[in-house]
Homo-oligomer: A and B are copies of this chain.
Amino acid sequence: MNVNHRQISRKDFNLLYGRLNNRGRWGDADERGTLNYITPDKVVAAAALVKSGRSISMSIPIDKTAGPDNAHPAIHYMAQLHEDAEAGFATDFLGMQFHGDCHTHIDALCHISYGGLLYNGKPAASVTSAGAGRMDVTAFAEGVIGRGVLIDAARHRGVKWLEPGEAVTAAEIEAIEESSGVRLGEGDIMLFRTGQYRRRLEKGPWNVGAGGEGRAGLDPYSLLLLHERKVAAFLPEGDGEVAPSYVEGLDSPIHVLQVAAMGMLCADSLQLEELAAACVEENRYEFLVCVAPLRLPGGTGCPFNPIAVF
């Protein structure tokens, strides 16, 4: 697979940003962005996909180990054990800087700014040391229940995983859809599998930063397809980015476009191994998805465990 991408100039990126920009689409006060596509009828239709009653976790186990790809290991301490108690209560403390490369987490719309603006033209400065004054993760508090569609690029290519630097284009997404017998539509939740988690399991942690090995992800122009199809949320393995980036001067163009321009609920670092196997076994690539973000006032996201139900 060619990883010698044509560079995208900042000028062209900005044109793309403009085409994807949903500012004002749901009113000036909107804080839910593309989740607006998930109308009640979409929820009802998604629930109707539950036929076998099988549920699947799409989360990586919370990682407490510092490593080349985990600069922010979760801290987890027992606060109380059952020591000598007739009726014992064991308790614990969990701390996470959850926006890390190894923690399955949600990005709230306040998480990312471009040119000083958040989604819907709101000032980035509204996020202060006191937390996000706008578009924090509580904007998603009622949960995201909808139709999930797995776009399994690794399976489509017949590889265990995409190699760092590789990009998936709109055309490839369409080819995957065709071979899977499924089509992303309005209000859908896109699960995007590159095999990155399997690579980590088999080859161990890797460096993902500036001097690291890079990541496989989406071609920035593929977002035009998601925009046109009115996709509501994006849940990838890894973070959906190609690294090194081939957009001039921007490390994370996908995040910028999805979150700041489109107002799309994104997540990072899912684990789609179990889901991919289940899709094969169930012979379908659509299912109910349940996302239940923590109700964290001011939060730029949260750790979570997205569930697929067949």
Contact = CB atoms under 8 A, between A and B. Distances in A.
A61 B298 CA distance: 10
Interface string A60-73: 11101111001111
A304 B19 CA distance: 37
A44 B51 contact: yes
Given A66-B67, A92-B299, A305 B288 contact: no
A91 B87 contact: no
Interface residues of A, number: 100
Contact of A94 (B145, B252, B299): B299
**This chain's copy number in the assembly:** 4
B295 A307 contact: no
A97 B93 contact: yes
Given A66-B67, A76-B299, A89-B111, A57 B99 contact: no
Interface string A82-101: 11011111111111111100
Interface stretch (A126-134, A156-164, A167-175): A126-134
Contacts of A225: none
A11 interface: no
Contacts of A293: 305
18 contacts: A40-B54, A43-B55, A55-B142, A56-B142, A62-B296, A62-B299, A66-B67, A77-B77, A77-B78, A77-B79, A82-B116, A82-B124, A87-B112, A91-B111, A92-B99, A92-B300, A94-B296, A294-B305
Interface of A: 39-44, 47-48, 50-57, 59-62, 64-67, 70-73, 75-83, 85-99, 104, 110-116, 124-125, 127-132, 138, 141-143, 145, 249-252, 255-256, 260, 288, 290-307, 309
